[in-house]
Amino acid sequence: MRILNGKRVLKAISIKLSVRDARILYRIQTMLHVGRIVAVGPQLAMYVVSDRVGMTKFLNRVNGEIRLKVPGLKEACTILNIEYKIANPKVPKGSAYLAGLLDTEGSVVINYPGNRIDMAFEFTQNEYTLALDLSEVIEGAKPVVRKFEKRNQTQDKVFYSIRHVYENVGNMQRIYNYFKKNRCYSDFKYYRVMKIKRFLELRPYKSYPKDSVEFKLYNEFLKDFYTHLNEGKPLPSYIVH
């Protein structure tokens, strides 16, 4: 948004992601046939729609599906004379919305103490993130919801966040089954959720002796999980080098 002749106008709609996840932006561009993708430095890519026809097409496609970044959507709809549609904060069973949410906002990580793979979403607390309900999306897998207070000692500010975490061992197979039907387009995150099937086979080997073939298979899995499309990052201390 910008001010032009004393009036707020919509200059462009943009989505910025890591270049590692640029596939998501190309997916959007291919579906809508509007917009362009540009590099923003060495690590970021951005999808941009800047003409009125393209922005109208974009908004009509997402209107009624946006549950978090609502204020910007509402203002954009007003400027382009589009009737804003309210999205139900309770995401329906089997909805692909969760896959899209993982693409842009979620994480898939190894919980080593719990010997499982967790999927988590964390947001700044506001009326929309507090209302978001993911309890029925994956049948039989309900996330644990926690609220946090974080203090920035340097700036003396307090931040409040809310986290939805699928952290139960029994959830892993259900998460895998969901993403087999609802693919996400972050290659990094999709690789990780698809590794759940193999992890379920290997996780008993965590307790085997460190020099056993079984433990080495488990350790190599962890190493691959952390390094795939994530090269250069230091490995966690519990992975045997």
What is the CATH code of the structural domain delimited by 97-202? 3.10.28.10
Contact in structure between 185 and 24 (CB atoms under 8 Å): yes
What is the H or E stretch that residue 144 is in? Answer: strand 144-152
Residue 104 confidence (pLDDT) above 60: yes
Euclidean distance between CA atoms 171 and 177, whole angstroms: 10
Contact in structure between 195 and 226 (CB atoms under 8 Å): no
Report CA 232 to chain centroid distance, whole Å.
22
Q: Could you say which architecture CATH assigns to the domain 2-79?
A: Roll (3.10)
Residue 1 confidence (pLDDT) above 60: no
Euclidean distance between CA atoms 39 and 169, whole angstroms: 39
2-79 and 97-202: identical CATH topology: yes
pLDDT of residue 42: 87
State the CB neighbour count (10 A cutoff) for residue 229.
13
Residue 188 confidence (pLDDT) above 60: yes
Phi and psi at residue 147, to the nearest 5°:
-110, 145
pLDDT digits (tens, 9 = 90+) for 69-85: 999 999 999 999 999 99
Residue 35 confidence (pLDDT) above 80: yes
pLDDT of residue 2: 56
23 CB contacts (<8 Å, ≥6 apart)?
185, 186, 187
Contact in structure between 159 and 124 (CB atoms under 8 Å): yes
Euclidean distance between CA atoms 166 and 142, whole angstroms: 7
Contact in structure between 176 and 131 (CB atoms under 8 Å): no
Residue 7 confidence (pLDDT) above 70: no
Based on the number of CB atoms within 10 Å of its own CB, is 180 exposed (0-12), middle (13-18) or buried (19 or more)? exposed
Domain ranges within the chain, ordered by starting residue: 2-79, 97-202
pLDDT of residue 9: 78
